Amino acid sequence: MSGPILIFDSGVGGLSVARALRQHYPSAALCYACDNAWLPYGLRDDATLAKRIVMVCQAAVQACQASVLVVACNTASTLALEGLRQTLSIPVIGTVPAIKPAALMSTSRHIGLLATTATVNRPYTQGLIDSFASDCVVTKIAADALVTEAEAWLAGTPLNAPRIQQALAPLWQATLESPALDTVVLGCTHFPLLQPLLVTLAPAPITWVDSGDAIARRVGQVATTLVSSAHDGRCFTTAPAQALTDGFARYGFHAPQPLALPDAC
């Protein structure tokens, strides 16, 4: 297994997972691919999205000769992991909302799930809540606007403060309830990129939980060698993304190249 680890997301959210992987495995080769032509995934129809994810991931795995695929997207993972595992011959590691660790950390037994509309509504997510947080109040909040804001943040364009506050208002409201919300699952990989801002906006102390470290640990179990490769740092997008070049560089990736997709995509 000498090919790079390929990180896939709809957009720049997978960079929060890339950051965790670089911290755990500084000399491992990483490639990045995002389907920014179809962003945001969280508002797409499930059936067409599932097919699209498989096609884009197949093309990206081929382009960088990856040895492991990390689906650094909760919206894609809660829908398409099975299809990806059936189609690809390399290990596929998914990202699902960190409900279990959040439930273990919460003292008040009231946790929040901040995710896309699709992830909040998926049976997969409800299954995690039923299995690991059945003794907690779980406030589920669809915050698709924060996906766009995280994209803007990486591109260095101004954030829309009123839009962010509007998306977060139900979360802040839950900190006033009884029991008060004390822990929030960042159930979309875009959101840890905005965590420093979320911390400053929160009206009360909140423990923020994401899946980055857990994914990194899982990669260490699956990948037998984590070595450098000629493909290290390559970055593929499905739509032009020149505005993101500096942002990608901050996470160790080269300027984005177009990903060649089959005509059916």
Q: Which is nearer to ligand DGL, 67 or 116 (CB)?
A: 116
Task: Mark whether 136 is an active-site residue.
Answer: no
Which residue in the list 73, 136, 235, 265 is annotated as catalytic?
73
Residue 19 φ then ψ, to 5°: -60, -45
DSSP β-bridge partners for residue 69: 6, 92
Q: The tokens of 158 are what? A: 């101004």
189 binds ligand DGL (CB under 6 A): yes
Element (H, E) at 122: none
> What's the angle, vertex CA 87, arms to CA 84 and CA 89, rounded to 5?
100
Element (H, E) at 110: strand 110-115
Given its phi and psi angles, is residue 32 left (phi above 0), alpha (psi -120 to 50 degrees) or beta?
beta
Q: Which of 67, 106, 119, 183 binds ligand DGL (CB under 6 A)?
A: 119
> What's at 125, amino acid-wise?
T
Q: Which of 3, 13, 212, 247 binds ligand DGL (CB under 6 A)?
A: 13
Question: Rounded to the nearest whole angstrom, what is the least distance from the CB of residue 39 to ligand DGL in the complex?
Answer: 5
Task: Mark whether 31 is an active-site residue.
Answer: no
Q: Does a cis peptide bond (omega within 30 degrees of 0) precede residue 4?
A: no
9 binds ligand DGL (CB under 6 A): yes
**Region 218-247 residues binding ligand DGL, contact defined as CB under 6 A:** none
Q: Which is nearer to ligand DGL, 10 or 175 (CB)?
A: 10
Q: Which is nearer to ligand DGL, 118 or 181 (CB)?
A: 118
Q: Which is nearer to ligand DGL, 13 or 233 (CB)?
A: 13
125 binds ligand DGL (CB under 6 A): no
* Distance separating alpha carbons of residues 180 and 191, to the nearest angstrom: 22
Query: Pattern 97-116, binding to ligand DGL, x per CB under 6 A?
Result: -------------------x
Query: Pattern 36-75, binding to ligand DGL, x per CB under 6 A?
Result: ---xxxx------------------------------xxx
Q: Which stretch binds ligand DGL (CB under 6 A): 17-25, 54-62, 188-196, 244-252?
A: 188-196
Residue 135 φ then ψ, to 5°: -100, 10
Q: Which is nearer to ligand DGL, 147 or 223 (CB)?
A: 147
Give the number of other CB atoms < 10 A from CB of residue 265: 16
Residue 33 φ then ψ, to 5°: -135, 135
Are 112 and 144 in contact, with CB atoms under 8 Å apart? no
Active site residues: 73, 188
Q: Given the rule CB under 6 A, which residues bind ligand DGL? A: 9-11, 13, 39-42, 73-75, 116, 119, 147, 188-190
